[in-house]
Amino acid sequence: MAESLKLRIQKTLKILYRTYPDVACALTHKDPLQLLVATILSAQCTDARVNLVTPALFKKYPNAKAFAAADLKELEQDIRSTGFYKNKAKAIRGCCQLLLTQHGGQMPRTLEELVRFPGIGRKTANVVLGVAFGIPGIVVDTHVRRLTYRMGFTKQTDPEKIEAEMMQVIPEKNWTDFGLLLIAHGRALCTARKPDCPQCPLRALCPKLGI
């Protein structure tokens, strides 16, 4: 069973690489800190909205020291349009304070260290590690969660359990791309409400189509 699943995932990745050859993180950023902040803002918010907010935000707060010293109420207003702004502002300021006091302003490069930051879970940590540092990790967001279940890759619905299962059947070198490719496909065709199955390049591999 595991071998057949590995083969089907390999075929899926091959098709997705061909379909989305320029796949990349959609969040605009220039360094690991900006990516961390943008990923925090992206929770329950579109990347497009985040990318509208961050240019002014990063100009106002150009480094961790500026975010760490930010007035919380003012920071909340700066990111208000991304939703859940109170929690996000608290997480951003807290992360930057911890970054300065415990890491000398340098972004940690291990998942174990990153998940100790306030408001940072495995998804955000894996985004930063994979995109900013090229350290493989499987990002499980709402799209990856939906597609891995829909495609029959897993029966799990808990993100951490999905991540653990996928790590067993996907080559480590593909971990980061796997998440990015499924996110791209989940946005383009395999949407939550009305997936465009007739146009889907994965339709021959999809158990939902009874093939």
Q: Which two tokens stand for residue 157?
A: 């619905």
From the list 141, 158, 161, 177, the catalytic residue is 141
29 and 20 Cβ atoms separated by less than 8 Å = no
Q: Which two tokens stand for residue 67?
A: 């975010």
**H or E element in which residue 10 lies:** helix 2-19
**141 is annotated as an active-site residue:** yes
C-alpha to C-alpha distance for 56 and 74, rounded to whole angstroms:
13
Cα three-residue angle 105-114-156, rounded to 5 degrees:
160
Q: Which residues contact 22 (CB under 8 A, 6 or more apart)?
A: none
144 and 186 Cβ atoms separated by less than 8 Å = yes
**47 is annotated as an active-site residue:** no
From the list 78, 123, 155, 158, the catalytic residue is 123
Q: What are phi and psi of 127, to 5 degrees?
A: -60, -50
Q: Would you please indicate which residues are annotated as catalytic (active-site) residues?
A: 123, 141
